[in-house]
């Protein structure tokens, strides 16, 4: 099946207000052309950017999309999950502060995986690596989202766009843990103060704190479902994910990360009929999760819109390649995504020119 990807070019000289108009017009075009029935409530899946990162997509770029929904009486919010470990986005409280500092104040914010990753749903997918996959619970309250992605490089995935935003972006801590490491956490007794804060977040009673003759703390591996909530809640950093094996897996050694990423996206999209809008601007070598200042590695390309997460990523990837920038690991991502039915690599790029927004099927890129 051929998917249509709508695209308007932008450059570093394009103003933020022009980007707002472009993304609003692209959304309007997509909704009309694909006859999308908008729901009463449509959250925006975003990434708030790690502190010190300067290349994440700033929220003022999304104002046109926010206005479009408001004009149609659609209720919205920003929706996100917290990261696995470390940084300023690993639990709701800190993550919300980061979002506010980065200017995400136009809409209410919902953390789909709760305070520290305890709110998740196991979505049955029955795929090669995952029979079920843990996504943030609140995503299941909606059957339509607008998934806003930043096209850029990514250390493990090779590149990040709609597939990564769906997969890693929807995953609760347990989903991220399974994708990255495939291991359950353990307690470092030299750090554990036996404060018992972690007990409140474990839904399966797997934590043993100061028990037995030894008075030590441990996690019952048979009970633990690997949700990762105790990692985030522990004030003493006593719950660790890291073993030699898990670190190797985190670095992609002996871990089919790309296939797992695609399966995570499949789980996330399973109950949803989403709209994907990707901003291929400030294209950095690394992810928006990286707490460092990066420079763009290529010129801005534009804003893309589609209903197919695979087609929109393929269109971004192909355009970058045509402009001389090849991101790694894409072949496997796209072939596996097609194989399990996440979407189609076969797409037609339809260019919507700014500012007149006259339709023209793109022939040059
Ligand atoms: S929260 Fe951390 S320090 Fe407190 S009991 Fe649990 S593992 Fe130990
Ligand atoms: S012990 Fe396992 S199941 Fe319990 S909170 Fe920690 S990671 Fe989750």
Q: Which of 63, 75, 50, 70 is nearest to 148 (CA)?
A: 63
Within-domain flag for 173: yes
Residue among 202, 239, 241 to mutate when testing ligand 1 (max atoms within 8 A of CB)? 239
How much of the chain exceeds pLDDT 90, in percent? 71
| Structure confidence at residue 341 (pLDDT) | 97
| Residues 277 and 131 reside in one and the same domain | yes
Within-domain flag for 22: yes
For the ranges 55-64, 244-253, 295-304, 314-323, the lowest mean pLDDT is seen at: 244-253
> What is the spatial distance between Cα 310 and Cα 77, in angstroms, rounded to a whole number?
25
| Residues 60 and 123 reside in one and the same domain | yes
| Residues 285 and 168 reside in one and the same domain | yes
CATH number of the domain within which 338 lies: 3.40.50.11440
pLDDT higher than 60, residue 141: yes
Minimum CA distance residue for ligand 1 atom 2: 234
| Structure confidence at residue 328 (pLDDT) | 81
What three-state secondary structure class fits 227?
coil
pLDDT higher than 70, residue 182: no
Q: Are 313 and 163 in contact (CB under 8 A)?
A: yes
How many angstroms does the Cα of residue 227 sit away from the middle of ligand 2? 5
SS (H, E, C) 161-198: CHHHHHHHHHECHHHHHHHHCCCCCEECCCCCCCCCHH
Q: Are 13 and 29 in contact (CB under 8 A)?
A: no
Minimum CA distance residue for ligand 2 atom 3: 224
The pLDDT tens digits of the residues spanning 92-131 come to 999 999 999 999 999 999 999 999 888 999 999 999 999 9
Residue 120 zone, left/alpha/beta (φ > 0; ψ -120 to 50; rest): beta
Shortest-distance ligand to the CA of residue 223: 2
pLDDT higher than 90, residue 180: no
| Structure confidence at residue 274 (pLDDT) | 98
The atom of ligand 2 lying closest to the CA of 225 is 3
| Structure confidence at residue 301 (pLDDT) | 98
The pLDDT tens digits of the residues spanning 241-285 come to 777 666 666 666 666 888 999 999 999 999 899 999 999 999 999
For the ranges 83-87, 172-176, 339-343, the lowest mean pLDDT is seen at: 83-87
Task: Tell me how far apart the terminal alpha carbons of the chain are, to the nearest angstrom.
Answer: 21
Element (H, E) at 101: helix 92-101
Q: Which of 56, 61, 78, 71 is nearest to 15 (CA)?
A: 61
Strand intervals (E) in 2-96: 3-9, 44-45, 78-80
pLDDT higher than 80, residue 365: no
Within-domain flag for 127: yes
| Structure confidence at residue 181 (pLDDT) | 67
The atom of ligand 1 lying closest to the CA of 239 is 7
The atom of ligand 1 lying closest to the CA of 209 is 5
| Structure confidence at residue 28 (pLDDT) | 97
| Structure confidence at residue 356 (pLDDT) | 58
| Residues 193 and 323 reside in one and the same domain | no
| Residues 52 and 69 reside in one and the same domain | yes
| Residues 54 and 168 reside in one and the same domain | yes
User: Pick from 214, 240, 266: which residue ends a domain?
Assistant: 240
| Residues 75 and 132 reside in one and the same domain | yes
How much of the chain exceeds pLDDT 70, in percent? 92
Within-domain flag for 347: yes
DSSP line for 31-58: HHHTT----SB-PEE-----TT---SPP
| Structure confidence at residue 246 (pLDDT) | 65
Within-domain flag for 246: no
| Structure confidence at residue 364 (pLDDT) | 36
CB atoms within 10 A of CB 279: 27
Within-domain flag for 245: no
CATH number of the domain within which 228 lies: 3.30.70.20
Shortest-distance ligand to the CA of residue 193: 1
Confidence of residue 359 (pLDDT cuts 50, 70, 90): very low
| Structure confidence at residue 218 (pLDDT) | 96
Give the mean pLDDT of 321-328.
Answer: 92
Q: What is the domain range of residue 225?
A: 186-240
| Residues 174 and 201 reside in one and the same domain | no
Kindly tell me the burial class for residue 24, based on how many C-beta atoms sit within 10 Å of its own C-beta (0-12, 13-18, 19 or more): buried
Q: State how many domains the chain has.
A: 2
How many angstroms does the Cα of residue 239 sit away from the middle of ligand 1? 7
pLDDT higher than 70, residue 357: no
For the chain, how long is the longest CA-to-CA vector? 76
| Residues 126 and 202 reside in one and the same domain | no
The atom of ligand 2 lying closest to the CA of 239 is 6
The pLDDT tens digits of the residues spanning 215-234 come to 999 999 888 877 777 887 89
The pLDDT tens digits of the residues spanning 4-18 come to 999 999 999 999 999
| Structure confidence at residue 292 (pLDDT) | 84
| Residues 173 and 209 reside in one and the same domain | no
Within-domain flag for 334: yes
| Residues 295 and 217 reside in one and the same domain | no
| Residues 147 and 210 reside in one and the same domain | no
pLDDT higher than 70, residue 88: yes
Within-domain flag for 59: yes
């Amino acid at each position: 099946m051929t998917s249509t990807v709508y695209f308007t070019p932008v450059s570093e000289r394009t103003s933020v207000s022009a980007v707002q108009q472009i993304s609003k017009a692209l959304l309007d075009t997509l909704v009309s052309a694909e006859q999308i029935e908008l729901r009463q409530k449509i959250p925006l899946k975003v990434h708030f950017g790690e502190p010190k990162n300067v290349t994440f997509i700033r929220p003022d770029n999304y104002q046109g999309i926010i206005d479009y929904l408001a004009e149609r009486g659609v209720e919205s919010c920003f929706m996100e999950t917290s990261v696995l470990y470390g940084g300023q986005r690993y639990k709701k409280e800190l993550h919300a502060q980061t979002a506010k500092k980065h200017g995400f104040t136009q809409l209410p914010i919902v953390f789909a995986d709760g305070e520290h990753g305890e709110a998740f749903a196991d979505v049955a997918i029955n795929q090669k690596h995952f029979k079920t996959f843990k996504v943030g619970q609140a995503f299941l309250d909606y059957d339509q989202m607008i998934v806003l992605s930043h096209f850029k490089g990514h250390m493990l995935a090779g590149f990040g766009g709609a597939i990564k935003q769906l997969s890693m972006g929807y995953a609760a801590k347990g989903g991220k843990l399974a994708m990255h490491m495939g291991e359950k956490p353990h307690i470092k007794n030299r750090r554990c103060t036996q404060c018992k804060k972690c007990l409140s977040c474990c839904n399966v009673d797997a934590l043993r704190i100061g028990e037995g003759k030894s008075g030590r703390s441990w996690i019952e591996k048979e009970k633990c479902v690997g949700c990762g909530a105790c990692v985030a809640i522990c004030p003493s950093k006593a719950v660790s994910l890291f073993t030699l094996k898990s670190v190797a897996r985190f670095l992609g050694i002996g871990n089919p990360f790309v296939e797992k990423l695609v399966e995570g996206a499949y789980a996330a999209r399973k109950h949803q009929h989403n709209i994907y809008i990707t901003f291929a601007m400030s294209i950095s070598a690394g992810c928006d999760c990286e707490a460092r200042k990066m420079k763009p590695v290529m010129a801005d390309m534009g804003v893309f819109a589609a209903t197919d997460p695979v087609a929109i990523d393929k269109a971004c990837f192909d355009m970058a390649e045509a402009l001389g920038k090849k991101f790694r690991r894409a072949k496997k991502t796209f072939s596996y995504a097609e194989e399990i039915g996440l979407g189609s690599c076969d797409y037609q790029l339809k260019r919507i020119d700014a500012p007149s927004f006259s339709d023209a099927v793109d022939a040059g890129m």
